[in-house]
Structure 1
Amino acid sequence: MSGETALDGQRSLFILSPGDRDGLSQQARAAGWRAIAARRATDAAQRFLHSDAQIALADMRGAGDGDIRLIASLGPSVDAGGGALIVLVDAGDMAAVPALLEAGATHFLAAPFTPAELRATLASAQRLVDRLVGGTTHSRRAQRIRRGDALFWERDGDRIRISDNLARHLGLDRQSVDPATFIRRLPRAERRSVIAALRGMMRSGRPEAFAHAAPGRPGDRLVHHLRLVDGVVAADVEWLSDAHGHDATGRDDLTGLRSRQAALDWLEQRQGLATTVLLLSISQFDRMNAAYGQVVGDALLGRIARRIERMTVDMAVGAMVARIAGTEFLIGLTGEAATAEKATFLARQLIGAIGRPFSAGDHLIRLTARCGIAQSRADDDATRLIRRAGTALADARVGGGEGIRIFSSEKRSRQVDADQLETDLRLALDRGEIGILFQPQYPVDGEHMIGVEALARWNHPQYGALGAGMLFATAGRSDYMLPLSAHIQAEALRQAAAWPRALSHLRLSINVTAEDIAQPGFMPQFLNLVDMSGFPRSRLTVEITESGLIEDVDNATALLTALRAEGLAVAVDDFGTGYSSLAYLKSLPLDYLKIDSGLAQDIAGTARDRIIVRGVIHMAKSLGLRVIAEGVETEQQLDLLTREGCDYYQGFLRSAGVSSADLVALALKA
């Protein structure tokens, strides 16, 4: 049995309850969960980060405004790890829900509650976590193990298998030892409690715990949380520090990213290897902090960290992400990802991610970022490498352009030339670099896939996978939109026509650009393309963006009317980028309205956001249109969209874009 399988056999729940810690822990264990419980809110965020829990349960029964402010410190830590925060409230205290949502709550449970209600809420929270971090096989524990910072061990036959990080702390040079060797590494005065805890658990089968002084840090304690999983003794180890703000695992308390010292250690361990660092700085943050306060600022830093970590992990395997100062983040790349080109591309994506609005109450906060890049040298140490990235960052702050500078060998930073992508795109079609992914669509009240949207991906030889946003932006600059659009349409139809009969119920949505609409003779050419592919017209939906409609409303209306007459369905895509378009919506020949991902995500924001989304959905329904929400990422968003009358949805909550082969497997599995 692998360590990960055994350790994941029973899920962990972090409980914060000033008044009922033990009672809630007992109920959690009865529901099949392992409880890690705390009474004090002041150190709850740090303890959650040190635990292996993905879900936190905060007991706010009888809480006042001060307690709500305290719980706000836990929200960013849960959010930063892609977790879920359940808040337990009194049934008559639902007026506190808006403030708790702002603090990071994702689920609510009203007291009194039954064991079945607790189990259902925990299951809902776990589904959210599984989808946020990529599925049940990619739990937060798996992410921590891949990062190498996990503290755990398990008994495997006559050996004890120990995580790499715990072995280092215990002074062991290997990760598999006999039990006697393991116990001898613990303080002599506390070995008796270890043996007693193990014997007690083996007799009763119930979880136990023991604690001892941390090696080399007498004021710190290591708490071993023991449990039996399929007859195997497993333990997750929590490091408790007596120093305020200290994180013995090398983690930043606020964001959960690596600390500055941990980043320096990571770089020193790779001395002599090709390494590239990106130093990313968030602009305008001090002004935002002054306007909204430290609680909002701290929460926002957690969300920024989450965006940075998600994007970096997706694009660069084995990358290091750290928060090294107030609003400065360091990303370390090695191996194939350490080229200047790939670092530059990642910097662009990170700056774009930071530029997407963040919500704070009734306001949208817009931030910008700058990035300095430096590559390692043979005689480098970590400090010099970061210092050069800082020099490049300083140039990026005062320079124009896209806000990215690379430190050059002449000790000057240079602006990145973005024109190479335009040249590469003209060769990409011939090289077969433009591929198709299909993102599934589901009814809001059902589990069976009803359709897919075809999405383009550019498998660039230097930068790796580039999304549709970068691809179409490059095509627009290089006047290459028509050949690209035609290729994507033809390839999507070709692959969809080859699907097995079991998928004959699925609709296919493909995009038509404003350039397509303006092209003379586009409709007969497009219909011929559809018919030649063999894909039925009756299952095809043509999507055109709202901005594409605005560019030429009359021509677009005529084209869409003709396409519907030929048996195709029509959808307006990315709706919500311009609310003035509501006025002419009724004049367009449409079957579907697709809500822009930003608008769909806003529904979980303020009351004003929900009113806007409600108005869009209700107008669409009054015109007989079916509504599809894009970019749905959370159960809360889906629940609210369902209440407002949305019909279908797509997004990371269910699935990212997948290949045709993976789509077939996914559909048949369902």
Structure 2
Amino acid sequence: MQRAAGRRRGERSASEEQVRLVAHATHGVTAVTVAPTSFEIVNAAYGRATGDHLVDAIDARLSGALVEFDSAAVRSGATFTIIVSGDAQVGDAAVDAVERALEHPFRVGDETVHLGARIGVARMTGDEALDHLLRRAAEALAHARASEGATTRVAAEGSGVPLAALAADLHRAMERDEIDVRFQPQVNLIDSRIVGVEALARWQHPRLGVLGAETLLAAADRAGLGNALSDHVQALALRRAANWPDALSGLRIAVNVTATDLSRTPFVSRFLARVHEAGIAPGRVTAEVTEEAMIDNLRAAGVGLAALRAAGCRVALDDFGTGYSSLSYVATLPLDYLKIDRSLTQAAVGDARNRVVLQGVLGIAEGLGLETIAEGVETEAQRLLLAARGCTYYQGFLCAGPLDDAALIALVGNGSSKGKS
């Protein structure tokens, strides 16, 4: 399969072969985006060389599974984006072939690797542009990753709103206060105190209802508003947290920092000015970054994050376990927290090998003096497993999903005391 340069999560670029295939398709097009679960954890358990060989093995197996289909694929890291020409029945058959190809373990050298996968599917509607179709498939993949059950998610045809239209709407959305934030609690695994929250962006679209962060970021990229959106969401989240009542005054607030944020030369001064303007103590603020935000310039990212920590903020590496990087991020960057991706959190309960890997990740974090936050905790069994193995905090629907201010205040007031991490 053709390789693509590294991109921000959710961003895909069509190859020339895919563009030609779509141009000549007469009976429909299906986009399929496939990502192995816990890939970074495989790197941690077996080494980067094994991870590289594993991606090659996935590539070969998918190519063999799709040989009977009129298809074209692009490989970006460990994520594969496939275009299939044909009607819905053909598209379904291709998805089934992909699922069957990945359900068996892989033999890489002397190792047998059991690998899960998440799949996002989107069918082209009307005169929908190819780049928007790929966006919808990527969003479906994000929903599949967030799902505790189904590993394959199909984007609803009704979600095929042209991205250009959303981008135009976004120009007015911030002025109209349509962009909001919700707060998902982070809970101490030992005493069940809510110690902090992660701020998550939402768009209350006047026609389409609530749109999540994936769609919001895609529209911002299309509109050239990535910087403005990030500034708006960070400032809004910090102001809201600064105005919480005393019952929530001890909670930390984690805000997401994007690749665009880190690439701006005055990033640190801008961020700290935003914290100061909100009237919130830097010691309550955590900057959450993903590996994609640092992949272009690790050294510069490290310098910026170190400056934030020197000013009193903390730094978390988000989504650990979903990317294609080596462990150099964890060893090199000035971090306080390592956030364990939901895919490992949810797999560890039912699989002994994943439990060993989870223990290894927690051991690495402990050895480096990092606290850990497990994402996607849905069940008491998951919570007990994490607590027994030394994880520090969790977030997930076992406690609560993303909440507005009133719901968060009510939750803390109903028995979860404030705390400091």
TM range (shorter): 0.5 to 0.7
Map of 1:563 onto structure 2:
308
Distance change (3 Å), C-alpha of 1:568 and 1:416: closer
- Is 2:177 the counterpart of 1:432? yes
Q: Distance in 2 between matches of 1:632 and 1:510?
A: 20
- Specify the alignment match of 2:239 in structure 1: 494
What's the % identity of the aligned pairs? 44
1:541-564 superposed Cα distances (whole Å, 9 cap, x missing partner): 111112112232111100111111
The answer to whether the 8 Å contact 1:452/1:508 transfers is: yes
* Corresponding position: 1:652 with 2:394: no
Match for residue 209 of structure 2 among 445, 459, 464? 464
Contact 1:594 1:627 in 2 (8 A): yes
| One-letter amino acid matched to 1:669 | N
Shift of 1:591: 0.8
Per the alignment, residue 552 of structure 1 pairs with 297
Distance 1:561 1:466, change over 3 A: same
- CA change 1:461–1:614 in 2 (3 A) is same
Local SS of the residue matching 1:658: coil
* 2:187/2:393 contact within 8 Å kept: yes
The corresponding residue for 2:228 is 483
| Cα distance per residue 1:200-240 (max 9 Å; x no partner) | xxxxxxxxxxxxxxxxxxxxxxxxxxxxxxxxxxxxxxxxx
CA contact (8 A) 1:440 1:449 kept: yes
- 1:152 aligned partner: none
Q: Which of the residues 359, 384, 389 maps onto 1:614? A: 359
Tell me which residue corresponds to 2:274. 529
Aligned to 1:417: 162
Count residues in correspondence.
300
Match of 1:511 in 2: 256
Structure 1: how far apart are the matches of 2:282 and 2:345? Answer: 29
What is the distance in 1 between the residues matched to 2:215 and 2:394? 24
Mapping for residues 272-291 of structure 1, pairs under 5 Å: 282-284=92-94, 287=97, 288=99
C-alpha separation in 1, matches of 2:329 and 2:351: 27
How far apart are the structure 2 equivalents of 1:516 and 1:428?
21
Structure 2: tracts of 5 or more residues without a match = 1-87, 105-117, 121-132, 416-421
Residue 174 of structure 2 aligns to a residue in which SS? helix
- Check 1:595–1:477 CA distance in 2 against 1; reply closer, same or farther (3 A cut): farther
Q: Check conservation: 1:354, 1:369, Cα contact below 8 A.
A: no
Task: Report if aligned partners of 1:282, 1:368 keep a CA contact under 8 Å in 2.
Answer: no
TM-score, normalization: structure 1? 0.41
- Distance in 2, matches of 1:348 and 1:480, equals 22
Cα RMSD over matched residues? Answer: 3.5
SS at match of 1:450: strand
Contact 1:540–1:568 (Cα < 8 Å) also in 2: yes
Q: Which amino acid aligns with 1:445?
A: I
Higher relative contact order (CA 8 A, sep 6+): 2
Equivalent residue number for residue 53 of structure 2 = none
For 1:668 and 1:354, locate their aligned partners in 2 and report how far apart those are by CA, in whole Å. Answer: 31
Give the Cα–Cα distance (whole angstroms) in 2 for the partners of residues 528 and 290 of structure 1: 51
SS across alignment from 2:256 = strand
* C-alpha distance in 2 between matches for 1:545 and 1:355: 19
- Per-residue CA shift, 1:513-549, capped at 9, x if unaligned? 1111111212112212111211111111111112112
Query: What CA distance in whole angstroms lies between the structure 1 residues aligned with 2:101 and 2:318?
Result: 38
Letter paired with 1:466:
L
Evaluate the alpha carbon distance shift between residue 462 and residue 584 of structure 1 in structure 2; reply closer, same or farther with a 3 A threshold. same
Deviations 1:37-58 (A, max 9, x none): xxxxxxxxxxxxxxxxxxxxxx
**CA shift in 2, pair 1:538/1:354, >3 Å:** closer
Query: What's the CA shift string for 1:491-524, capped at 9, x where partnerless?
Result: 1111111111222211111111111111121211
Q: 1:581 to 1:292 in 2, by over 3 A?
A: closer
